[in-house]
Amino acid sequence: MFDMKLIEILESIVIMEYSEGVVKKLVVKFKNENPDLEDETIMKYIQEFKNISSKLPNKDITKYNWDELERVVDANRSVKVKAGKIDVTVTDSNLLYNQDRIRLYHANNKKACIKYSNGYSFCIGSRGSDNMYNHYRHRISNGNERTGTPYFIFNDRLPKEDPSHILVIFVNQKIDVDGDKEISFSLTDALNHGDKEFEHLSEIIELYSWISLIKNHLKFIDITPEEREFYKVRKELGQSILDEKERIIKEYKDNDTFRALSFLLTPNSAVEVSMKMTPKEAYYNILEGKNYYHTSLNVSNIINQINKTRQKYVKELDISFQDCVQQNTKWRLDFMCLEKERNNFMNDYINKCVSTFKKCYLDYIQRDPVASANKPLYNWEDMGPKVQELITNYIMLYKEEFCNMDTFREILKLKPELGERLLKVFEMKDQYNRLEKKYGIV
């Protein structure tokens, strides 16, 4: 009925065109360009590129270097947080300047960057594992150490339509292999079409004169001893986790065990994203006898089926509707832990999907003049039952087990050392997360 190619194993970001081999080659390529990049961050950017690639002139991700990929993804993110206001009446120790309708904040950690980025696509303000704060705060490449201090400048004199109503400026210090130090600046605006590099602050002031009001506050602030220790241990621990994951997966190559291990060990997997649980929790669920199933919705296929029920065909509506759905929903593999409640759970899941389609559809009808003029043709009363039927058929068709967990459970009984190694990886990951909290980096 549907020609959707289901994804069977490995990274949840390997959707449709991107094979496991392509993703691994891209990760190696981008890490060669920026050794301090984490695998999770790279794969999140690959996934986001897939989400936006249909509207890009160059859709071939292999033709991008890391800087180009980061720039194009940040500028075209398919899911952006709804803009919110910072409550200026609340005391904020990071507020360095608040006069003449100009506000300057020093974003001294990841949480601060997320707070001040609310409503924008800045990579240092992402709420997910693709957050780039740590990368920009401190990194070492080819023996050169670069440390950055981020500042958010809000110009409330300017309308929101002016991209320069918010500027993010990094004051950077580079220490080369000989120990020589050099200060530079980088800047992006609300559109976030990539960082612009400047040797001197005066160059920025020439473009944005109001920066002269706050220039004395834009200072480089070096990383603290606690931060330095964090970055050192974090890098060592992160590499240990990655190495052990690769060793485990290489040793167990039978299909079901490999798929189960990939399911548990892949960064930013559906376990964490769709099911909101840690890999350790998923592992214990498997030991208790629970199984995992998956479904995946192909927006294009469903819309094409819906079109067959219409009296007319409006191409613009399909394009806008797909865009609307993709901006309001993370369409990715959903893995479901099912027991006796399997049918009820499946029905709840179907209803959730239908509700999402309905919301996106009605939002589109309300805001688009072409669709509004054709409301009788696109009313939900006629379309709703058809959408319900299509989604039900689609999900029920692809509700099979993700892999045979009985086989995996049997392997764990025969080789208890595998379970011990998995728990060791999970503990290292927990330790990694505790590091961020300990040093206040998050």
Residues near 400 by beta carbon (within 8 Å), at least 6 away in sequence: 293, 294
End-to-end CA distance of the chain: 46
Evaluate if pTM is beyond 0.85.
no
> Could you tell me the CA-to-CA distances from 266 to 115, 249, 255, 426 in Å, in that order?
28, 10, 16, 12
Q: For residue 33, give both structure tokens.
A: 């360009």
Per-residue pLDDT of the chain (442 residues; tens, 9 = 90+): 222 222 232 333 333 345 666 777 888 888 888 776 777 678 778 877 877 777 788 888 888 988 888 888 877 764 444 444 565 556 788 999 999 899 999 999 888 998 999 888 888 888 766 788 888 898 887 778 899 999 999 999 999 899 999 999 999 999 988 889 999 999 999 988 878 999 999 999 999 999 999 999 999 999 988 888 888 887 787 778 778 877 887 888 777 787 778 778 766 555 665 566 788 888 888 888 877 665 555 555 555 655 555 444 344 445 444 554 454 444 344 445 544 445 555 676 677 777 777 776 777 677 666 666 666 666 777 777 877 777 777 666 555 555 667 888 898 999 999 999 999 888 888 887 777 676 655 5
Domain segments of the chain: what residues? 20-75, 95-223, 227-293+402-438, 297-397
CA 359 remoteness from chain centre: 23
- Residue type at 417? E
Can you list the pairs that 309-315 forms with residues at least 24 positions away whose Cβ atoms lie under 8 Å? 309/382, 309/383, 309/386, 310/377, 310/378, 311/377, 312/374, 312/377, 314/370, 314/371, 314/374
20: exposed, middle or buried (Cβ count in 10 Å: 0-12, 13-18, 19+): middle
Residues near 58 by beta carbon (within 8 Å), at least 6 away in sequence: 64
Give the whole-angstrom CA distance, residue 170 versus residue 219.
9
- Residue type at 294? H
Give the whole-angstrom CA distance, residue 80 versus residue 82.
6
